[in-house]
Amino acid sequence: MKLFKKTYWLITPLLVVVFLLIFEKGFKIENTVISTSISVVLAFVLSPKVKMVDTQHGEVEQIKWLFFKKVINKKV
């Protein structure tokens, strides 16, 4: 979890690159505008979301991802 807390922001660009490769090489989509826009939308939907939450002990960043059942807290 410590590694995920430090590098969660890298997941979105990596997903964009992976989806671009899948659409251009796998499905042979020649139009780059269509493949890029679909890749960006899919990466945005599947990327982790960060929310600032006020608690008794101060502000805390909460990282929530589709593939994790519980919320990950990261102190600011």
Neighbouring residues of 53: CB distance < 8 A, sequence distance ≥ 6: 59, 60, 61, 62
Q: Where along the chain do its domains lie?
A: 2-75
pLDDT, position 7: 80
CB 61 within 8 A of CB 73: yes
Rounded to two decimals, the pTM is 0.74
Query: Tell me: the pLDDT tens digits for 10-65?
Result: 889 999 999 999 998 888 888 889 999 999 999 999 988 888 888 888 888 888 88
Neighbouring residues of 67: CB distance < 8 A, sequence distance ≥ 6: none
pLDDT class of 1 with cuts at 50, 70, 90: low
How close are the terminal C-alpha atoms of the chain, in Å? 16
